[in-house]
Amino acid sequence: MSARTILEARGIVKELGHGAGKVLALKGVDITLHAGELTLLMGPSGSGKTTLLSIMGCILAPTAGSLSILGEPTENLDPEGLADLRRRHIGFVFQSYNLFPTLSALENVRLGLDVRGIRGAAAAAEARAALVAVGLEHRLRNYPRNLSGGEQQRVAIARALAGSPALLLADEPTAALDADNGQNVMALLSDLARDKSRAILAVTHDHRTLPHADRIVHIEDGRIVGEERQTPERRARATGRAKEKA
Amino acid sequence: MVLTLAFRNLFHDRIRLVVTLVGILFSIVLVAVQLGLYLGARKMIVGMIDNARVELWITAFGAKSFEESGSLNGGERYIALSVPGVASVEPLVAAFNEWRKPAGGTALSVVVGTDLAEGSLKPWNLVAGNDADLFGPDAVIVDRTYLKELGITGLGDAAQIDVMRVKVVAMTEGIRSFTTAPYVFMTLDRARQVQGMTGNQTTFLLVKLEPGADRDTVQKALAARLPDVEVLTTETFRQRSLAHWLFSTGAGVALIGGAFLGTLVGTVIVAQTLYSSTKDHLNEFATLRALGSSAGYIHRVILLQAALSAAIGYGLGMTLALAIIEASKNTALPIIMTPGLAVGLLVLTVFMCAISALAAIMKVTRIDPAMVFAR
């Protein structure tokens, strides 16, 4: 039985800028994300990774093409409609964590739930559970400034997970972390992707993350140029390459 | 969490919070003092008129206020008494006079000569002596606030009004004069003497109506019978006095202008600090937007920040304003705080902060959630 489709994008084109400065950032991208998979979107700088992530995250609207999340088309949605879609289905993990410095780890996660309309005791319990799930049960009351980079990224992952979105999008989740913390975060994302109700896509150019992926999509110059699925052999090779690069 | 976030955003930068609160506090105190002075001035201007407790005033044509009116020949009293619905007509003398201090020097005063028998306008709030003492030789009653101004120390002190000797036999508390010229109560006859009035001459005739009489009907009848004078309702005379002292002299405009400026300055300070706070937290708001929050959710955070600023600023501002008001209680120009003014100031503060939040809201409305990927 094939895995449930979480996201489907067809013929995505995105123009950025105006007039003479106009750039075609995406030139007809097709991509499908399935539940239970950790997909890595890899490519050099300027290849269109972040633009595609923004479109898949319903933050940017494509110039042309179609996008649907859990079968819900996103065309013709205004900014509030897109925000509603994000609220219901998508969790984000950012390169710089984007935690609220004035809120504790628990409050940061609760804020994510509050945005999703989950409040009160239910929110407190779910936020705690999300932080326990990422191994931060001992850091609930700590503020971001008192957490390491890896711990901050875990809080961000807990915030993205809380409310059980079907799609988790991560933008360079290991870029600001050292090797150990990067591996831990990717291992966590990989574990989370085992949940058959959720698809995870991480944009990265960090080869150390390869062993954790189920699928790797390569993008260059605004086009998908290749895709590979991980087999145990490939995973082992990727691990070796990652160690060499490290 | 909206309240928590608003609270933390506000208290995160203590220096900016202090600047915001000082702005609101300054604004509240300025507006409270200006409007309190305005209310105090109003109360002083109409104090005599309100305490007379009569329905109609017969005045010379063009009477500007209680202190500034021409004189009547007094014959009007008997004509007025013959008008149906009139219960009593009482003469009252009021005019500026020169008070000569016992140790030398003069002060401007307002002589108020009342008919103690009829007693529509007797000195009130007596704190020493009693009004019957006015029947004694040279007797006058003054307000305790003005003792220094009049160059005297208390009961029994003597002075002169023009060439007439006067002696303080009783004192009131809180009968203040907007013109800063103290009121000096005396009998009607003595006031006429001081003013050089002859016979039944007077400044005003105070008309009381019979129970059930229609004020407007009586006013029209009096006006028809007395074509050479003005017959004013108490309310009309109040408004005329207020218009004269507050607006013809510009005093009221200055007070209201000061209150307006206070509001403006407060609004600008709060707007500036809220805007810069929003700019500082722009990436956080963009993150919220990326997480799927509605624009309304973010607006609520900003508005709550404004409301918290308003509540704290109002509390501090009112505390300081009340202290200033208390300190002004025994001065010649007391500041008044009424429940209505306190509520009005609260509404003004909330309004000021809400307006201030607009610029921040407009800024955050244009936020691009994609900026979260640009860091």
Asked whether the CA dihedral A81, A84, A85, A90 is positive or negative, the reply is positive
Centroid of chain to Cα A26: 19
Q: Is B24 left (phi over 0), alpha (psi -120 to 50) or beta?
A: alpha
Sort out which chain A residues have CB atoms less than 8 A from B289's CB and list them: 83
Cα distances (angstroms) measured from residue B367 to each of A83, B290, B362: 13, 10, 9
Q: Does B287 touch chain A (CB under 8 A)?
A: yes
Q: How many other β-carbons are positioned within 10 Å of the β-carbon of residue A220?
A: 15
Sort out which chain B residues have CB atoms less than 8 A from A120's CB and list them: none
Given a cut of 70, whether residue A233 has pLDDT beyond it is no
Q: Which residues, at least 6 apart from B170, have a Cβ–Cβ distance to it below 8 Å?
A: B123, B126, B128, B129, B130, B131, B133, B134, B139, B141, B155
CA-based nearest residue to A197, from A84, A8, A10, A33: A33
Cβ atoms of residues A200 and A193 within 8 Å: yes
Q: For B316-341, b where at least 16 C-beta lie within 10 A, e where not — what string?
A: bbbebbbeebeebeeebebbbbeeeb
Given this model, what pLDDT does residue B43 score?
Answer: 86
CA-based nearest residue to B72, from B82, B83, B63, B81: B63
Question: Containing H/E element for B364?
Answer: helix B339-365
Task: For A108-133, write each residue's pLDDT tens digit.
Answer: 999 999 998 888 899 999 999 889 88
Instruction: Choose the mutation target among A115, A116, A155, A169 for the interface with B, i.e. most B CBs under 10 Å.
Output: A115
Asked if A86's CB is within 8 angstroms of B291's CB, the reply is: yes
Give pTM, 2 decimals: 0.71
Cβ atoms of residues B270 and B23 within 8 Å: yes
Sort out which chain A residues have CB atoms less than 8 A from B9's CB and list them: 102
Residue A245 confidence class, pLDDT cut points 50, 70, 90: low
Given a cut of 50, whether residue A216 has pLDDT beyond it is yes
Residue A241 confidence class, pLDDT cut points 50, 70, 90: low
Q: Which residues, at least 6 apart from A14, have a Cβ–Cβ distance to it below 8 Å?
A: A24, A25, A26, A48, A51, A52, A55, A60, A62, A63, A222
Residue A12 confidence class, pLDDT cut points 50, 70, 90: very high
Q: Does A102 touch chain B (CB under 8 A)?
A: yes
Q: ipTM score of the complex?
A: 0.84
Name the minimum distance, in Å, from the CA of A111 to any CA of chain B.
Answer: 6
Cα distances (angstroms) measured from residue B117 to each of A7, B47, B134, B135, B198: 97, 21, 11, 11, 20
Q: For chain B (length 375 residues), average pLDDT per consecutive 10? A: 86 82 81 82 87 90 87 88 91 90 88 80 85 84 89 88 88 86 90 86 91 91 91 92 83 78 75 72 82 87 85 89 85 82 84 77 75 66
Q: Does B253 touch chain A (CB under 8 A)?
A: no
Task: For B32-74, write each residue's pLDDT tens digit.
Answer: 888 888 888 888 888 889 888 889 999 998 888 888 888 888 8
Show the beta-strand stretches assigned E in B195-324: 204-209, 229-233
Distance CA B278, CA B226 (A): 69
